[in-house]
Structure 1
Amino acid sequence: MTKLLEVKGLHSFYDESHILHGVSFEIEAGQAVSLMGRNGMGKTTTLKSILGLVQPRSGHVFFKGEEISALPTWQRMRKDIAYVPEGRGMFHNLTVKEHLEMAARPNNRGEQHWNYERVLETFPRLQERLSNLGTQLSGGEQQMLAIGRALVTNPDLLILDEATEGLAPLIRKEIWDVIRTIKESGISTLIVDKNIQVLKELCDRHVVLVKGKVVFNDDSEQLLSRLDEVESYLGV
């Protein structure tokens, strides 16, 4: 398989606080990879370091074989990366329809597998909320909109931070079903979430962080064989 994302030796700081200690992992084209760890272990910092929202003091990020470590965030996103942030990132002055129309574009190959209509078919309840502001939606509806907004950019890599955090059980199931559909469509995913029971079935590989260091980086078969160990890292 083709390496889509390569993260090599990231050391990231907030002021003088050393958060990431040599984080390295890879995502191959078409793979779903989980990024797990207790709160405060460096998961969101890892995502932000990949995207350039935090600039690592050392280490490298490669996407499709090109080093993007020195690029500003907006240029990295233009490489066909999409991000669903923790907190969903709704624009206060845009309706549901405007969120989707504003973001829509083909990928760099001119392909547009996900468009406005397909997102509404995938999330029917957004169809009922088109004229509502994004901030007027429930938490679950906001997550649907955030994922839909990411999908209409037709990314090769979709990054989801806390994919189902704080959502009701039925909404969580709906979101996981959509993430499975995204994977089946060929989009690679990097997923931060706490639900190891779902992630071990959905994802191809798993990365676990403890205090900013990678303590597990392997496939689902190895995860299952070392499940007790991995769960101890997660406090499950």
Structure 2
Amino acid sequence: MTDSLLEVKNLNTLYGRSHILHDLSFRLDQGQSMSLMGRNGMGKTTTLKSILGIVRPRSGHVYFDGLDISDLPTWKRMRRDIAYVPEGRGMFHNLTVREHLQMAARPDSQGQTGWDFDRVMTTFPRLQERLSNLGTELSGGEQQMLAIGRALVTNPRLMILDEATEGLAPLIRQDIWNVIATIRESGISTLVVDKNIKALKKLCDRHVVLVKGQVHFDGDGAELDANVDKVETALSV
């Protein structure tokens, strides 16, 4: 049995008087890939921001590698080998593709650099042709590749991807799924927010579905198949 890498316990997160997350709990084990699904407004992005400390929960705890990181600022959480690919990709307007990667590059907390500039170039050959372009000059698919590459050069143990393929053309979406599979195979744990159940079933070991800030379903692929009607109803508009 694998050890827990990320554990969320009884998170309650509010925006003003709006109670978004209600006693939210789940865990992600080392080396696992987990999907986080739900309709718009169900609390997926708030969950990610609560894990990262971008939004502070009213109560509950976040554990990473067995340590309670609930009171740490965001930058200290990220320094524990967590990487974040945000919805919207977060391009810096004044940095080239090369500079995005150079700015983010660092070894992990053990001094390892398995993902470096050259490996990112091999993984995303299209970026090699755009090194001198500003990040904002890239297509949506290229920006997502750069956002993932920028996260990878921090050599994370956990990569969190929000709306991994949102708004991308079908062929580009498949490229992104293939890259996420490669990331998983390299030993990095992944937490992926997306709406493509079919792709997520192939990629992820576990699946969490949120409804109104609560866990509606939490299980592996076989359990997902056994509860497909329940999950599809929760995801339908």
Normalising to structure 1: TM-score of the pair? 0.99
Does the alignment pair 1:155 with 2:156? yes
CA distance in 2: counterparts of 1:103 and 1:209, whole angstroms: 32
- How far 1:109 sits from its partner (Å)? 0.8
For 2:115 and 2:43, the matched residues in 1 are separated by 31
1:84 aligns with 2:78: no
Cα drift, residue 228 of structure 1: 1.4
Q: What's the secondary structure of 1:142's corresponding residue?
A: helix
| Matched residue type, 2:147 | A
Report what 1:74 is aligned to.
75
Q: How does 1:1-236 map to 2 (within 5 A)?
A: 1-235=2-236
Structure 1 unmatched ranges of 5 or more: none
- Once the two structures are TM-superposed, the CA of residue 201 in structure 1 deviates from its matched residue by 1.3
| Deviation string, structure 1 residues 166-217 (Cα, Å, up to 9, x no partner) | 0000000000000000000000000000000010111000000001010101
User: Identity over the aligned pairs, expressed in percent?
Assistant: 72
RMSD after superposition: 0.6
In 2, Cα distance between the equivalents of 1:221 and 1:204? 10
Give the Å deviation of 1:51: 0.2
Matched residue type, 2:206: R
Counterpart amino acid of 2:66? G
Q: CA deviation at 1:56?
A: 0.1
Tell me the secondary structure at the aligned position of residue 180 of structure 1.
helix
Structure 1 segments, 4+ long, off by >2 Å, are none
Structure 1 residue 66, shift from structure 2 partner: 0.4
Tell me by how many angstroms 1:42 deviates. 0.1
1:113 and 1:106 mapped to 2: Cα distance?
8
Separation in 1 of the partners of 2:44 and 2:96?
Answer: 30
